[in-house]
């Protein structure tokens, strides 16, 4: 595959100080035409591989109900397309620039496939309550392969990463009430944003393939239902930098995705270093060596 030259050359011009400022202040930045088609093809092939793999890490949201959709977590190790994408494309460089870190690690890759016809909204939530981490240098890049009108885009509440960290929603009870808590302890329950949309400053975008949204995991976000016949395949790449540390969460529910051994080896405040989190930048010596 030919490396996407245009993207490799011009990413520094796209990730401007203004983008970095907006990310820090609002926690959400829409960047049109950031990802070249070659990389999108790689994402598509990676998603196809995962869907055909019988992976136990494919979950179904609203299982058995009309509008169910799929969610797939952490397939980097078994998906060479994602390895190529995250080692070779400028994605890690771009995010490193946004969060101000030369070192960049992958927290995990997360795929959402809404292709069952008229799929439901992803419930409003923040990502941070689910993840056992703290710090500032963290960012998800939300990359969608299919065109989406603003009315069906994921929606965001800018600046909410600087406010309250709410409890998560409970995926198993989301059909009953998408504010029912994940932990039910220590964190305030999610507000019912969907029931009071007019009270919130909600933003969304018309998305074309190659457009991305940079998303701070503390930002409230949700939505992105699909209308009948529309397909949405999204890869959310969760990356972090130097200042991210391990942090505990309420003990009533395991954090997600599962990270066996992490809580027994790390104490709150320890740097987040574990085999679960491959380093992408600088390129690890083991990866660089195979090129010599
Ligand atoms: O794409 C979606 O529907 C959900 C995405 C999401 O929640 C995320 O990337 O954190």
Query: How many A from CA of 24 to the centre of ligand 1?
Result: 19
Query: If you measure from the C-alpha of residue 84 to the centroid of ligand 1, how many angstroms do you get, rounded to a whole number?
Result: 22
Cα separation, 158 vs 241, in Å, equals 22
Which pLDDT tens digit goes with each residue over 27-81?
A: 999 999 999 999 999 999 999 999 999 999 999 999 999 999 999 999 999 999 9
Q: Read off φ and ψ for residue 137, nearest 5 degrees.
A: -85, 80
Q: What is the set of domains in the chain, with CATH numbers?
A: 18-289 (2.60.120.620)
Q: What is the pLDDT of residue 290?
A: 66
At 8 the pLDDT is 58
Q: Which atom, in ligand 1's list, is nearest to the CA of 236?
A: 9
Give, for ligand 1, the residue of 234, 239, 256 to mutate: max count of ligand atoms closer than 8 Å to Cβ: 234
247 CA → ligand 1 middle, Å: 22
- The pLDDT assigned to 291 comes to 60
Predicted local confidence at residue 227, as pLDDT: 94
Report how far residue 192's alpha carbon sits from residue 195's, in angstroms, rounded to the nearest whole number.
6
Between the CA of 208 and the centroid of ligand 1 the distance, in Å, is 17
What is the predicted pLDDT for the residue at 3?
A: 45
| Ligand 1 atom nearest to 110, measured from its CA | 9
Mean pLDDT (the chain) is 95
Which atom of ligand 1 lies at the shortest distance from residue 223's CA? 3
pTM of structure:
0.95
Ligand 1 centroid–CA 122 distance in Å is 7
Helix axes 37-51 and 80-88, enclosed angle (nearest 10) = 150
CB-based pocket (< 6 A), ligand 1: 112, 122, 127, 140, 142, 154, 221, 224, 234, 236
Q: Can you give the pLDDT at residue 9?
A: 63
Tokens representing 188 are 């305030």
Burial of 292 (0-12, 13-18, 19+ CB in 10 A): exposed
Supply φ then ψ for residue 215, to 5 degrees: -135, 120
pLDDT the model gives residue 131: 98
Low-confidence ranges of the chain (pLDDT < 50): 1-4
How does pLDDT run across 147-172, given as a tens digit for each residue? 999 999 999 999 999 999 999 999 99
């Amino acid at each position: 595959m030919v490396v996407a030259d245009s993207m490799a050359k011009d990413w520094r011009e796209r990730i401007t100080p203004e983008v970095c400022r907006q990310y820090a202040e609002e926690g959400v930045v829409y960047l049109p035409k950031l990802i070249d088609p070659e990389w999108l093809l790689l994402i598509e092939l990676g998603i196809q591989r995962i869907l055909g793999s019988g992976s136990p890490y494919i979950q179904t949201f609203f299982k058995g109900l009309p509008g169910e959709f799929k969610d797939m977590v952490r397939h980097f190790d078994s998906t060479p397309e994602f390895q190529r994408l995250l080692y070779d494309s400028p994605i890690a460089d771009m995010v490193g620039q946004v969060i101000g870190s030369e070192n960049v690690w992958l927290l995990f890759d997360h795929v959402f496939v809404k292709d069952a016809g008229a799929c439901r909204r992803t419930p409003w939530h923040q990502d941070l309550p689910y993840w056992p981490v703290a710090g500032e240098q963290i960012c998800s890049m939300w990359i969608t392969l299919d065109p989406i009108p603003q009315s069906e885009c994921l929606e965001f509440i800018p600046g909410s990463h600087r406010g309250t960290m709410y409890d998560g929603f409970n995926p198993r009870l989301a059909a009953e009430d998408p504010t029912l808590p994940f932990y039910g302890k220590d964190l305030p329950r999610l507000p019912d944003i969907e029931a009071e949309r007019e009270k919130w400053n909600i933003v969304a975008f018309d998305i074309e393939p190659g457009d991305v949204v940079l998303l701070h995991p503390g930002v409230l976000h949700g939505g992105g239902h699909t209308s009948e016949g529309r397909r949405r395949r999204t890869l959310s790449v969760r990356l972090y930098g130097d200042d991210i540390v391990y942090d505990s969460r309420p003990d009533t529910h395991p954090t997600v995705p599962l990270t066996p051994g992490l809580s027994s080896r790390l104490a709150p405040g320890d740097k987040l270093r574990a085999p679960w989190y491959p380093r992408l930048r600088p390129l690890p010596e083991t990866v660089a060596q195979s090129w010599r």
